[in-house]
Amino acid sequence: MTTSTREPARDRILRTATDLFYVYGIRGVGVDRIIAESGVAKATLYAHFKSKDDLVLTFLRYSDEKWRQMLREAAESAGDHPREQLVGMFGAIEAAAQGGGQFRGCVFINSATESLPGTPVHEATVAHKRAVRAWVAELAAAAGAADPELLARELTILLDGAMAGAALESIAATVPATRQAARAIVDRHL
């Protein structure tokens, strides 16, 4: 006799919301759709998340952890030297695109454009971008950059632009050009 393990309601809600928010945006998805597609009752959703904003913030925390892990893994796969890791981190875009479905770019930029400055959702997107830039600055300092903050800012702007380019065109067209640009920026600083 086999028993099937049903995914816990909270996990189902978050997975459903994550998929829908990524494809349709946080404003393009209502709570009723999340309830219907996750197969939970309205009371169950609100037992786990106080509001839609609470669900969006949880989605952003989950996305933050996932994206920063992908960046670290891509950087580490480029080798042990921080200089190579600064260029290697761009492989995270390819990894993100392999998740299935259409690549829609950066969750945080997309969410920031749908939220007002000063709101918790917007602040979460800003905090994510600052955390990524701080990590890149650490790599830049370890690589010996004279101005790690500037190098980190240039590379994270390129990273954001590459994700937009990949969403608009294709990963195959965007990532090689982005790596070449990243290499030139790193070489200029180091």
| 45, 94: one domain | no
DSSP state at residue 83: H
User: Same domain, yes or no, for 115 and 154?
Assistant: yes
DSSP letter at 146 equals: S
Contact 190, 145 (CB under 8 A): yes
Does residue 2 lie within any of the structural domains? no
Question: Do residues 169 and 149 both lie within one domain?
Answer: yes
Q: How many domains does the chain have?
A: 2
Domain carrying residue 27: 7-49
Confidence of residue 171 (pLDDT cuts 50, 70, 90): confident
Residue 135 and residue 168 in one domain:
yes
Question: Which among 65, 140, 144, 47 is positioned nearest to 108, based on CA atoms?
Answer: 65
Shared-domain flag, residues 101 and 128: yes
Helices (H) and strands (E) in the chain, counts: 10, 0
pLDDT of residue 3: 44
- 84 with 117, same domain: the answer is yes
- Same domain membership, residue 42 and residue 61: no
Same domain, 45 and 63: no
pTM score: 0.91
Query: Using one digit for the tens of pLDDT, what is the confidence trace for 83-94?
Result: 999 999 999 998
Q: Would residue 58 count as lying in a domain?
A: yes
Residue 13 included in any domain: yes
| pLDDT value, residue 2 | 45
Same domain, 28 and 88: no
In a domain, residue 71? The reply is: yes
Q: Is residue 1 part of a domain?
A: no
Residue 89: how many other CB atoms lie within 10 Å: 26
Residue 108 lies in a domain: yes
Percent of the chain with pLDDT over 70: 96
Predicted local distance difference test score (pLDDT) of residue 97: 81
- Residue 18, domain CATH: 1.10.10.60
User: What's the N-to-C CA distance of the chain in angstroms?
Assistant: 63
- Whether residue 78 sits in one domain with residue 64: yes
Alpha-carbon distances of 31 from 3, 27, 64, 165, rounded to whole Å: 31, 10, 22, 30
18, 34, 49: which is the final residue of a domain?
49
Each residue of 19-72: pLDDT tens digit? 999 999 999 999 999 999 999 999 999 999 999 999 999 999 999 999 999 999
Secondary structure of residue 74 in the 3-state scheme = helix
How distant, in Å, are the alpha carbons of 7, 8, 69, 123, 167 from that of 74? 30, 31, 9, 26, 19
CATH number at residue 159: 1.10.357.10
Are both 69 and 31 inside the same structural domain?
A: no
Residues 99 and 170 in one domain: yes
pLDDT tens profile 129-151: 999 999 999 999 999 999 999 99
pLDDT in tens, 96-121: 888 667 789 999 999 999 999 999 99
Residue 80 lies in a domain: yes
